[in-house]
Structure 1
Amino acid sequence: MTLPCDKLPALVFIILLAAGLLSDELYAQKAVKGDTVYTMEGEPVENGVVLIRDGKIEQVGPAEEITIPDGYETFQGSVVTPGLIDARTVVGLAGYYNQDHDQDQLDLTHAIQPELRAIDAYNAREELVGFLRDNGITTMHTGHAPGAVISGQTMIVKTTGRTVDDAIVDSTTALAITLGSVVRNNFDTPGTRSKGIAMFRQELIRAQEYAGRRNNEDPDRRPDRDLGLDAIVDMLEGRISALITAHRSRDIMAALRLQREFGFPLILDGGAEAYVLKDELKEAGVPVIIHPTMVRTGGDTENAAFDTAKRVSEAGIPVVFQSGYEPYVPKTRVALFEAGISAGYGMDRVEALRSLTISSAEILGIDDRTGSLAEGKDADVVIFDGDPFEYTSRPTHVFIDGTQFPAPDPVQNQ
């Protein structure tokens, strides 16, 4: 039997739809309406609208100034924000089951392993990725955990995709470095703070020498390729950052000394005693990915406080939030809740929201794509049913690159 030509387009459409091959872009035109829209580009917009087209933000503004085109699917809620950013996590390397097979965040065979790539271990289908996304996290800075002098590399991903290639935003963002007593708990060497810093400094010197030889005009005099030193050279030359986990004031000071000595870009991770060194951090221009507000205090974090973010932020130091890493269950915190506690302990609420969005994007170098609701940026948008910092509020819709999560049930929507 031969079908008439005028029936073929409809038949092809049905076949592609059944096979799941139609691009989501055909359905990517959306309008998001909120009683309050926090664009993070200025003052909140009351009764605002965000138009989404082909995975990007098309227009943002008051409802009376924006005409929603025909065919746009409309979503509405109480509060609309940019997609939230978890500025430091190990989700995707550390998994939900807390078993050896899904715990790839920290290799204990050697205290210095800058060659370890987060992209090689990340599991985009890990249940914790979906858990964070359901709580409004659309972007994560994830990778190797604190606990080694250099534990490996970090990267930035969206909380979406079937594979790491689907999720990737930046494949190599920083080297994860730890200063403090936690390292001695994991390795025989270093056994003291000074030994750990000496080992790190020696690697930096080796990398400087390696970089000089690597650029030799005579190919025969160039060194053999060293993946670890390549990564450290990238850090020394500013292509990636040093993400140094340090909590005690003396360890933070050591990180600042190393930064002055070698000139690498520095992001302080943790900073439980950062409030002791506000002047020094501000002078150095070093941002802080603050410890989870509700961290269990003990050891290096014994002086962590609920109002650390408030005190450091009010000193003019960029502060952002993280879920972090702790070796017990539950296997991840939610950065939104950590920020909410800081807001409850006096941090300006809009500043706390900025810390989860545009401030994190700026520190991580992805503010050209995400972190705020602005024309041309990725359509990462969250709708809340109330104040995001109220514990009873929940995201009702999460959009990543314009795609709704969880995906609507096609049967229920017929």
Structure 2
Amino acid sequence: MKRMTNYLAAASALVLAAGAQAQDIAIKGEQVHTMAGPVIENGVVVIDDGKIVAVGPAASTAIPAGFEVLEAKVVTPGLVDARSVVGLAGYLNQPHDQDQLDESAPVQPHLRAIDAYNPQEPLVEWLRGFGVTTVHTGHGPGALVSGQTMIAKTIGNTADAAAIVERAMVAANLGPMALTERGKSPGTRAKQMAMLRQALISAKQGDAAKPAGGRSNDDKSNADKPPTLETQVMRDVLAGKLPLLVTANRAQDIMSALRLKQEFGIDLVLDGASEAYLLTDEIKAAGVKVILHPPMTRQYGEFENASFTTGEAMRAAGIPFAYQSSYEGYVPKTRVVLFEAAIAAANGLSWNDALASVTIDAARIIGVGDRVGSLEIGKDGDVALFDGDPFEYTSHAVGVVIDGKVVSTASQ
């Protein structure tokens, strides 16, 4: 441990620069959790030019000459946050750093997260310090269709440098969070579904003249107009190019989302799903993946029936799921998936499944399992180092490596 601490302290000045080149690194761990097989006792991960080139027992895995060596008690893949608004929602909680929601219209699928993502937001660095190396972030709840999401590494001077998937999903929201008042649409759950159907039907028919609100336009000249940005995005949803990420917590809203999937044959990912344990048969039959709410979310309103044990229920039913930091309306504007998975591990979910829910399972659900989420040859050199069991509150993240660069050195 002393050796690792000395190395990290000496390296901190140069590796935190966003433009730093990938280092040649070997990471030794008393326990190496690859998430691709059994735990390796006294294991080593070798990273060359930003990619993992060897993983195995230290006794039989050669470390090339000249490679720097880091050591830790526990080594895991870099953590993957399956749903966040970090980088759009800033820690100051002031209008100038709150870009996760535009309230000017209920349906805005054309808003792209990459146009609002701030990689220099202090919350990005804060999460990185806990071992979070990949985030699926973007527009949050509050509107029927709030915009698109992106997938980014928690490094980079620009959004373009951080992004690994610029357009990941289209974020929609059902239930009270996306209802409006004073006679504006949508004012009821039925109107929410009608507007979503209209947006999809208009895209399917190529009807750029009919707005998502459903009011017709009889001007024949509009038939020759090019499709709007909104229509183009919804066509991508219909074609399976972009999943529809539907935040729905009440059982009735979850069922409405499943109904939409059946009607249009779209790729649907459930988000939040606090009452998913009531509908395991229906969710399993629909073949839907679930990004569960943080277990420690405040249990009131549509979260009043949330449970610490929903992850265990999903696992028992064979439903693919991951945990997330989600959207928080109060400072510091984000949760930490490491802590949320720890709560799940204390409430029925096995230790390994809890770690999988914020590593390989999360990576697969958001579509980047071929790059991140496990320590395997050919994958990105994203590694988290801990001085003890990551799920114990007395343990600390003591180092983080992304793409073969040491990017965090402080004990956190």
In the superposition, the TM-score normalised over structure 1's length comes to: 0.89
Unaligned runs of 5+ in 1: 1-16, 214-219, 409-414
Shift in alpha-carbon separation, 1:345–1:23, aligned structure 2, 3 A: closer
In the TM superposition, residue 406 of structure 1 has moved relative to its aligned partner by 2.7
Residue 281 (structure 1) aligns with = 283
Offset at residue 222 of structure 1 (A): 5.2
Is 1:254 the counterpart of 2:256? The answer is yes
Q: Does 2:69 align with 1:74?
A: yes
Residue 218 of structure 2 is matched in structure 1 by none
Q: 1:185 to 1:390 in 2, by over 3 A?
A: farther
2:80 corresponds to 1:85:
yes
Structure-1 residue corresponding to 2:189 = 193
Structure number with the higher helix fraction is 1
1:165-314 alignment, distance < 5 Å:
165-185=160-180, 188-210=184-206, 223-314=225-316
**Which deviates more, 28-37 or 307-316?**
307-316
Deviations 1:340-379 (A, max 9, x none): 0010111111011111111111111111111111111100
- The runs of at least 4 consecutive aligned structure 1 residues that moved more than 2 Å come to 20-25, 185-188, 220-223
Match of 1:3 in 2: none
Corresponding position of 1:322: 324
8 Å CA contact 2:208–2:231 kept in 1: the answer is no
CA distance change for structure 1 residues 186 and 232 in 2, over 3 Å: closer, same or farther?
Answer: farther
Tell me by how many angstroms 1:196 deviates: 0.8
Alpha-carbon separation, structure 2, partners of 1:194 and 1:145: 21
TM-score, scaled relative to structure 2: 0.90
Between structure 1 and structure 2, the one with the greater Rg is 1
Sequence identity of aligned pairs in percent?
52
Cα deviation for residue 299 of structure 1 reads: 1.4
Structure 2 distance, partners of 1:208, 1:223, is 15
CA drift at 1:288: 0.8
Match in the other structure for 1:123: 118
Q: Unpaired runs of 5+ in structure 2?
A: 1-12, 210-221
Distance 1:280 1:21 in 2: 48
1:309–1:319 contact (8 Å) kept in structure 2: yes
- Give secondary structure in 2 for the equivalent of 1:48: strand
CA RMSD of aligned residues (A): 2.1
Shift of 1:225: 3.5
Q: Deviation at 1:330?
A: 2.3
Quick check: 1:347 aligned with 2:349? yes
Counterparts of 1:63 and 1:185, CA distance in 2 = 59
3-state SS in 2 of match to 1:405 = strand
Deviation at 1:391, TM superposition (A): 1.3
CA apart distance, 1:223 = 3.4
**Pick from 94, 98, 104: which aligns with 2:99?**
104
The CA deviation at 1:298 is 1.4
- Are 2:158 and 1:156 aligned? no
Q: Give, in whole Å, the separation in 1 of the partners of 2:144 and 2:403.
A: 36
The aligned counterpart of 1:60 is: 55
Deviation at 1:407, TM superposition (A): 6.4
**Mapped contact 1:210–1:223 kept (Cα < 8 A):** no
User: Does the 8 Å CA contact 2:207/2:223 hold for their aligned counterparts?
Assistant: no
Higher relative contact order (CA 8 A, sep 6+): 2
